[in-house]
Amino acid sequence: MEIINAAPIAQEQNHSSCQHSQADEISNPAVNYGEFTEAQQDLQAAERAKNIPAEVPEILVNGIEITESQVLGEMQYHPADTKRQSMVKAAEYLIIGELIKQKADELAIDYDPMSLDTASEYQLINQLIAHERITPSASTAECQRFYQQNKGKFTTSPLVELRHILLAAAPDDVTERIRLKDVAEEMINRIQEEPACFNDMVTAHSACPSKAMSGNLGQVSQGQTVAEFERHIFKAQAGLIDYPIETRYGFHIVLIERKIDGAELPFDYVKDKVSEYLNEKVKRKTIAQYMQQLIKAADIKGFNFDYENSPLIQ
């Protein structure tokens, strides 16, 4: 069988002779495959890397490069449905951060570049805006208009006077909860037929300390009980709620005896809260507009911003 040797054959070699001295033998370089020096391996790796296309194109922000390694390293903090979406978010964050630092340098505002994170960058943006005297706020007229359009939000808490029966079950005891739901529904059916038996059922079945007062919880306002309970009692009308309410404590059979609607609060009473809320909205809008101005004024290569859909700008 003929073996093709990649090494060149010496001209003075005797082709007719099968006898060669050890010194005359020509070694096959394939024999030493894998015995390259570390420097040779590094050169080969670098050569191979040249032929691998970059995952992230070159991004320049006013001449300062955002490297591929920076973007890939930042992606872990920007989860998304696809790798590309995560990459876009990471690149946006790094570009905006670079623009903020460059503007701070331009205005001679002190900051520690080694300790910048999302919170400190937000503070630095506020410093930039304050330095440039961009401090809009909501006017009294705007506050009054918002109040008039949202009067239903500015009321005292409604009150519900109720009694209940608690059938207690641990949050993770699925079997017991299934059983108690059936028991609660049967009890509701019986109370609907014989309303006077509510007191007897409280005494016989309730696991709440209120059983000593016939299940009376008194007047309940918003925030006094757990959210999953309040979602139902404040929507219900007076009378027996015709289904058991499930909470972390178990199942509740609830009889609402009286409801008192919340009273409307006057503007003077809530104007400070309205002003605070609107000023925060104005502040966020100002920051978004300021960032758009920085982006539009910058020389950014390798990345196009989607102003409408970028959560970082919004």
Q: What is the pLDDT of residues 6-32, one digit of tens each?
A: 334 444 444 444 444 444 444 555 455
The answer to whether residues 207 and 76 belong to one domain is no
Average pLDDT of the segment spanning 200-212: 95
Q: What is the mean pLDDT of residues 151-160?
A: 90
Note whether 241 and 274 are same-domain residues. Answer: no
Lowest model confidence (mean pLDDT) among 134-143, 171-180, 183-192, 270-279: 134-143
**173 with 310, same domain?**
no
- Last residue in a domain, options 215, 243, 260: 260
Q: Tell me, yes or no, whether 306 lies in a domain.
A: yes
pLDDT computed for residue 1 by the predictor: 30
> Is the confidence at residue 245, as pLDDT, over 60?
yes
Residue 16 lies in a domain: no
> Between residues 279 and 117, which one has the greater pLDDT?
279
Which domain-ending residue is among 215, 245, 260?
A: 260
Domain membership flag for residue 39: no
Q: Is 205 in the same domain as 228?
A: yes
Residue 36 belongs to some domain of the structure:
no
Are 246 and 273 contained in the same domain? no
Residue 179: CB atoms within 10 A of its CB come to 13
Asked if residue 248 and residue 169 are part of one domain, the reply reads yes
Does residue 34 fall inside a structural domain? Answer: no
Same domain, 81 and 215: no
CATH number of the domain to which 202 belongs: 3.10.50.40
Which residue from 138, 133, 101 is spatially nearest to 120, judged by alpha carbons? 101
Question: Is 233 part of a structural domain of the chain?
Answer: yes
Pair 180, 100 in one domain:
no
Two structure tokens written together for 64: 């300062």
Q: What CATH code is carried by the domain that includes residue 63?
A: 1.10.4030.10
Query: Mean pLDDT, to the nearest integer, of 94-104?
Result: 93
Query: Do 251 and 163 fall within a single domain?
Result: yes
% pLDDT > 70, the chain = 80
User: Are residue 69 and residue 92 in the same domain, yes or no?
Assistant: yes
Our count of domains for the chain comes to 2
- Residue 44 belongs to a domain: no
Domain that holds residue 151: 51-155+266-314
Task: Name the pLDDT band for 116 (thresholds 50, 70, 90).
Answer: confident
Same domain flag for 277 and 296: yes
Considering the domain boundaries, does residue 11 fall inside one?
Answer: no
Together in a domain, 78 and 204: no
Mean pLDDT of the chain, nearest integer: 84
